[in-house]
Structure 1
Amino acid sequence: MPKYSEEIIQRVIEANDIIDVVSQYVQLKKSGHSYMGCCPFHNERTPSFSVSQDKQLYHCFGCGVGGNVISFVMDKENMSFPEAIQYLAERANIHLPKSTSEDDAKYQRKETLYELNRVLANHYYTLLKHQPDALAYLKERGIDIRTIKTFGLGYAADQWREACQYLTARQFKIDDIVDSGVEIKNDRGRFYDRFRNRLMIPIQNARDKIIGFGGRILSNEEHGPKYLNSPESLIFSKGTELFNLNRAKKNIVDNQLVVVEGYMDVIALYQRGIKNTVAALGTAFTSHHAKLLSRYVDEIVLCFDGDQAGENATNKAIAILKNSPLKIKVVRLNAEDDPDSYIRRNGVDAFRQQVREAQTAIEYQLTCLKKDNPLKTNDDRLTYVSQAVPIIREARSDIEKNFFSKLVAQSTGISAKMIYNAAIKNIGYSEDQIMPAFKKYLAEQKKKTPKAVLQAEKNIIIGLLNQTIPFNALDLTESHFSDAMFRQAFHEIKKCYQERKPMTGATVIAALDQPEAQQALTALIMESSNGEASPKESIRVLKQYKDAAAMRALQKKLKTLDPSDPEVARTLNALMELKKRKDSMQEVEDGR
């Protein structure tokens, strides 16, 4: 992974005005010295997302996220730091220098695998044109030539080493072909193609790079799994990627994405105009998927197969999604249907109607319970209520809990009030669930460092960033800062001062290691005034705290020393010096 110099990072930041970048995702309006809009990272109706053009920072007063233009792109596009730098550099037509360090090996390997997959996808696409069985299969499924081109559908030849020979002829190394998952090495050291006689579906990440393949058999009578996917690799992680997200994010409708189970469901819906559709990649829905979706929309509609397996998958997805900020709805299909078969038989308008009338997650779960329970006896009804109460408890508001309690009451004859009271019993939310990341960070630091010291460190850093405190007025070093975030910020500010480089909050934030620290410092900068006009009081607090810590360490050391050890005298002298300094500072404070 390339390491970019501070000069390059600063140049990229300066070339990408944060207002322009954020405006690609958020409708911003001028409000005083800042711009305001609805936060793209959580669901809100009243704008609390602030972007400062002067400071080149963003901060949400609702959920606490914040940072500079790089962190915004990282969070919004699910990019790593180097990927965000590359994205912004391309946007600003900045040429990034190539690094030759050993740290680049992993990055270069990734680029090789991306290129290998691109070349192979083009080859599969070419082979499809000359494969009647595969073309007949697509025609039977109602897939037209435009959709074939859009998704780059292809065909893997019914040969043991066709793909490998094609790639090696184009100078790709066998190790890279194996690492990509295209080739398999058996116990005897022989190689053979993973995909043979299959319809090939390229899998792209959110930035349109091909990270793997899905292969489907052309006839259900053939041996082997119906779908065969690329294995996990350096560039492919099934639990963190979603099929068609690269296209769906550009076609979002009503702040909503539709989640289906399979590639062919996505392709069939896309061809008929339902383009805001994604699918998990041969794995169960994960918390990473939920986090990824929440970057783009506030609501998702689950539309899995109508059979029992699809119902089970839907309930598992709901269990994951209930811990996310996403609003969840569910389309309930007949047992014999999947999204592909439904839209082919009933048409796009009928499918859109299903999406509009989708059930809430809780309504769907209650329907599933009721489906398997005749509710004819008192035992049936009591069982249904006992199973329904934990589901109702998951509702996000008291109004919803009350509403669903009444629904269950209508079906069972049991008092809605009793059901509601059972649902709200022992409800509570931990601080971890409701506290934004930056508040958690600061709360953790307060456990380690006195509040007055944190306040003093904050005052000095904010004053330096806002240039109300001249750096040469400070008689401090990094060692005076107890908090890691403030210490790292001070180090970066000092470096800018010593090297006479421009210093802004955005550049200092970019140098911080932890995302929580970046958000915390962003929040402090955005929420604070210009800081102290005079840093004297804060300097005194930091020096006293450092000296007190040093005195405690020396006193602890004395207890471990032998009385005859010469180190005792040196330690006592050091203690005396610290005590004199403490007394001197106290005299100044008392005005003697």
Structure 2
Amino acid sequence: MALSPQWLDELRARVTLSGVIGRTTRLTKAGHEFKACCPFHNEKSPSFTVNDAKGFYHCFGCGAHGDVIRWMTDQRGLSFMDAVKELASEAGMEVPAPDPRAAQQAEQMGGLHEVMKAAQDWFMAQLAGPEGERARAYLATRGFDAHTVQRFGFGYAPEGRQAMKGALKAFPEDRLIEAGLRIAVDDKEPYDRFRGRLMLPIEDARGRVIAFGGRILDAQKTDAPKYLNSPDTPLFDKGRTLYNLHRAGPASRQTGRIVVVEGYMDVIALAAAGIADAVAPLGTALTERQIEMLWRLVETPILCFDGDAAGQRAAMRAITRALPMLRPAHSLRIVRLPVGLDPDDLIKRDGVKALEALLTQPSSLLDLLWEHERDAAPLASPEDKAGLKARLMAHVDTIADRDIQALYRRDLLERFSAYAFPRREQREWRPGGGRGAPAPARSDPAQMRRLRRAVDGGTRDALSAAVLAGLLRFPAELARHAEQLWHAPLADPRFAALADAVDDGAPLETDALATILAQRGMAAPHPDEYAALPFGFLAEAAPPDQAREDLAQAVGLLVERPALEQALAAATRQFERDLSDGAYAEQQRLLKRKLDFDSRLRQMASARAGAPGGALPNDGTMAD
């Protein structure tokens, strides 16, 4: 049976070498290593060392050397496959079934490692040459010194579609294509993937180059992506790779932490500032596989994403992926950077101590989850409060560990109750009205009930359901509205899920979006849910262009409503408290705006495809 190098690397990573050796040999901690008297020869003073970070043992007396598999074969006397099976059972891994192609694949991958090493050497040589002047100038603007440039292996890919082919002519064309260095399109001549870019090698857990990332240097090329990574290859799977893991892993054993930032340039900026225990995902949201890799290093990794909206969405996506995986003592912590700053910006502005201070006081996963959902929508009505509770409990239900699930449910329900139903301050009762007291009619209970019904609105669910159905009917329109849907405090979590799909680059097709909702445990609206909704953009006979414009106006109404309802609810509560003329006037002003909003909504809901007035008028009624 032939096992792939990747599988064996995974096995070695999942087993702690000192733990295996310590079962039969007494080890003593010595700095970052362990020492013992060598079990392979007789000695009185210890010359046998075990290094977990590097994954090998070594005896300076007899020369015994090997990894955890070699220990099992040499010291325990097991065959290679018996050693692998025992270690795999301990690590919770399944030994792959025999595959006659495995040996051929292993040989093929070994050849690809040679290709990547040659490409890296060539990129570094180009950076040092005349064509690398622009790349060197950019590195200088980032403040990276020569040690940082050399340590992280920066290089340069020159302009020219065939430059690499000539430089790496010792390797066949198909190998360069398979390694992701060249692109073959139909029957045209293949060409270099990376051109005119600052190059950075992406390495595996053993420090071998498996892919590249390239940053564009020509700001005029607006049609090209700013950062370009290698595609998935036999060596590289971006969802199973963390940039800088082979350096950050040993560093994390000293600091007791691991920091996750958004991109590899952030990792290098932190390393240049002295923070060596940082890693980054590669162009995707943090995956379940990457979270498991982090948990093998520390129990609570720290997410340190940018302070902008995209960074906070990335943090929430990581949280929702981690929730089902939570287990005792294993979680995530989150640092929120100032708005508009990434880690490098913060270091340059305030110094590395400012970032270190933030890293020492991260928020818990539970705290950020609560704050995100609490701020997602106002609590202006019972429906809003029920929506907050439903969103919180939906997150809790995804947690597989029953003990953790119960603790999360208790904590979040306590926070919800304290926030949604705060204790009211007792007011002193004073007899008599006094000058300027409002007329008794204003405090009439029947009028108050009518005002509360006005705050709640009667077409709330209909509008949300119609907009959701409209977006699935015209999925390409989602890109147009994703940003405002994400920022709006909408009770239905499906809107945020669809906005995330745009941010993740998912295909904007009805079936694809329905699948994304299903994967998150959310159901796409069934035709029966909206068949009776009287919105023209849902009608089959509606002209597509007109339907899209009507849908855009419906999205606008949906986004406008929460802020208006929140303001009206606050004004109503203020009036109930002090019954002043000013509070009454403000409540009536907002009530008028709410009634006008309802009128516009009814107008849209009654519009029919092809009927006169099918679109909302542009006569000033859309604004207050």
Band of TM-score, shorter chain: 0.5 to 0.7
Structure 1 residues 388 and 407: CA distance shift in structure 2, 3 A: same
Q: What letter matches 1:105 in structure 2? A: Q
Report the counterpart of residue 245 of structure 1 in structure 2.
245
Structure 1 residues 157 and 210: CA distance shift in structure 2, 3 A: same
- Map residues 428-439 of structure 1 onto 2, 5 A cutoff: none
Structure 1 residues 135 and 232: CA distance shift in structure 2, 3 A: same
Q: What letter matches 2:233 in structure 1? A: S
Structure 1 residues 55 and 319: CA distance shift in structure 2, 3 A: farther
Structure 1 residues 176 and 74: CA distance shift in structure 2, 3 A: farther
- Note the alpha carbon deviations across 1:224-275, whole angstroms, 9 max, x for none: 0111111111111111111111111110055321112211111111211221
Report the counterpart of residue 19 of structure 1 in structure 2.
21
- Map residues 98-137 of structure 1 onto 2, 5 A cutoff: 104-130=103-129, 131-137=132-138
Aligned pair count reads: 358
Shift of 1:81: 8.7
Q: What letter matches 2:302 in structure 1? A: V
Q: What letter matches 1:189 in structure 2? A: K
Q: What letter matches 1:116 in structure 2? A: V
How many angstroms apart in 2 are the aligned matches of 1:176 and 1:122? 17
2:72/2:83 contact within 8 Å kept: no
Secondary structure of 1:246 counterpart: helix
- Which moves more between the two structures, 256-265 or 199-208? 256-265
- Note the alpha carbon deviations across 1:266-304, whole angstroms, 9 max, x for none: 111121122111111122322211222222221111122
Structure 1 residues 3 and 270: CA distance shift in structure 2, 3 A: closer
How many angstroms apart in 2 are the aligned matches of 1:74 and 1:192? 45
Report the counterpart of residue 151 of structure 1 in structure 2.
152
Q: What letter matches 2:356 in structure 1? A: R
Secondary structure of 2:210 counterpart: strand
Shift of 1:113: 0.8
How many angstroms apart in 2 are the aligned matches of 1:265 and 1:3? 35
How many angstroms apart in 1 are the aligned matches of 2:89 and 2:213? 27
Shift of 1:406: 3.5
Report the counterpart of residue 343 of structure 2 in structure 1.
339
Report the counterpart of residue 214 of structure 2 in structure 1.
215
In the superposition, the TM-score normalised over structure 1's length comes to: 0.53
Shift of 1:156: 0.5
Aligned with 2:355 (options 346, 351, 357): 351
Shift of 1:339: 2.2
Structure 1 residues 155 and 148: CA distance shift in structure 2, 3 A: same
Secondary structure of 1:143 counterpart: coil
Structure 1 residues 197 and 408: CA distance shift in structure 2, 3 A: same
Structure 1 residues 110 and 69: CA distance shift in structure 2, 3 A: closer
2:113/2:209 contact within 8 Å kept: yes
Shift of 1:338: 2.0
Shift of 1:384: 2.9
Shift of 1:314: 1.5
Shift of 1:210: 0.5
1:203/1:213 contact within 8 Å kept: yes
How many angstroms apart in 2 are the aligned matches of 1:129 and 1:289? 34
Structure 1 residues 54 and 144: CA distance shift in structure 2, 3 A: closer
Please, which runs of 5 or more residues in structure 1 have no aligned partner? 5-11, 30-38, 41-50, 58-66, 83-100, 416-592
Report the counterpart of residue 175 of structure 1 in structure 2.
174
2:157/2:197 contact within 8 Å kept: yes
Secondary structure of 1:202 counterpart: strand
Structure 1 residues 229 and 175: CA distance shift in structure 2, 3 A: same
Report the counterpart of residue 292 of structure 2 in structure 1.
291
- Map residues 372-411 of structure 1 onto 2, 5 A cutoff: 372-375=376-379, 379-391=383-395, 394=399, 396=404, 401-411=409-419
Shift of 1:123: 1.4
Shift of 1:79: 12
Report the counterpart of residue 206 of structure 1 in structure 2.
205
Structure 1 residues 119 and 75: CA distance shift in structure 2, 3 A: farther
Shift of 1:414: 5.7
How many angstroms apart in 1 are the aligned matches of 2:394 and 2:406? 14
Q: What letter matches 2:178 in structure 1? A: D
Report the counterpart of residue 183 of structure 2 in structure 1.
184
Structure 1 residues 260 and 193: CA distance shift in structure 2, 3 A: same
Shift of 1:174: 1.0
- Note the alpha carbon deviations across 1:356-408, whole angstroms, 9 max, x for none: 21111121122222333344555544433333343456582655544444433
How many angstroms apart in 1 are the aligned matches of 2:73 and 2:118? 42
How many angstroms apart in 1 are the aligned matches of 2:234 and 2:362? 38
1:183/1:191 contact within 8 Å kept: yes
Shift of 1:72: 4.4
Shift of 1:220: 4.1
1:56/1:69 contact within 8 Å kept: no
2:257/2:301 contact within 8 Å kept: yes
Query: Do residues 232 (structure 1) and 232 (structure 2) align?
Result: yes
Report the counterpart of residue 594 of structure 2 in structure 1.
none
Q: What letter matches 1:149 in structure 2? A: Q
Secondary structure of 2:324 counterpart: coil
- Note the alpha carbon deviations across 1:471-503, whole angstroms, 9 max, x for none: xxxxxxxxxxxxxxxxxxxxxxxxxxxxxxxxx
Please, which runs of 5 or more residues in structure 2 have no aligned partner? 5-11, 37-51, 54-70, 424-624
Q: What letter matches 2:347 in structure 1? A: I
Structure 1 residues 220 and 272: CA distance shift in structure 2, 3 A: same
Secondary structure of 1:386 counterpart: helix
1:76/1:296 contact within 8 Å kept: no
Q: What letter matches 1:192 in structure 2? A: Y
Secondary structure of 2:212 counterpart: strand
Q: What letter matches 1:232 in structure 2? A: D
Structure 1 residues 310 and 167: CA distance shift in structure 2, 3 A: same
Secondary structure of 2:124 counterpart: helix
Structure 1 residues 77 and 392: CA distance shift in structure 2, 3 A: closer
Report the counterpart of residue 313 of structure 1 in structure 2.
314
Secondary structure of 1:327 counterpart: coil
Q: What letter matches 2:260 in structure 1? A: V
How many angstroms apart in 2 are the aligned matches of 1:148 and 1:68? 41
- Note the alpha carbon deviations across 1:92-146, whole angstroms, 9 max, x for none: xxxxxxxxx9753211211111111111112111211232211121122222211
Report the counterpart of residue 33 of structure 1 in structure 2.
none
Structure 1 residues 184 and 403: CA distance shift in structure 2, 3 A: same
1:76/1:295 contact within 8 Å kept: no
1:392/1:405 contact within 8 Å kept: no
Aligned with 2:365 (options 348, 361, 364): 361
2:248/2:278 contact within 8 Å kept: yes
2:199/2:214 contact within 8 Å kept: yes
Q: What letter matches 2:21 in structure 1? A: I
Secondary structure of 1:340 counterpart: helix
Secondary structure of 2:301 counterpart: strand
How many angstroms apart in 2 are the aligned matches of 1:388 and 1:353? 30
Secondary structure of 1:322 counterpart: helix
How many angstroms apart in 2 are the aligned matches of 1:361 and 1:28? 39
Percent same amino acid among aligned pairs?
A: 30
- Note the alpha carbon deviations across 1:153-210, whole angstroms, 9 max, x for none: 1110011111121001xx1111111110101123233021000011111000001110
How many angstroms apart in 1 are the aligned matches of 2:419 and 2:123? 55
Structure 1 residues 401 and 172: CA distance shift in structure 2, 3 A: same
How many angstroms apart in 1 are the aligned matches of 2:316 and 2:251? 27
Structure 1 residues 128 and 79: CA distance shift in structure 2, 3 A: farther
2:303/2:332 contact within 8 Å kept: yes
Q: What letter matches 1:126 in structure 2? A: A
Aligned with 1:412 (options 402, 406, 420): 420
Please provide the CA RMSD for this pair: 4.1
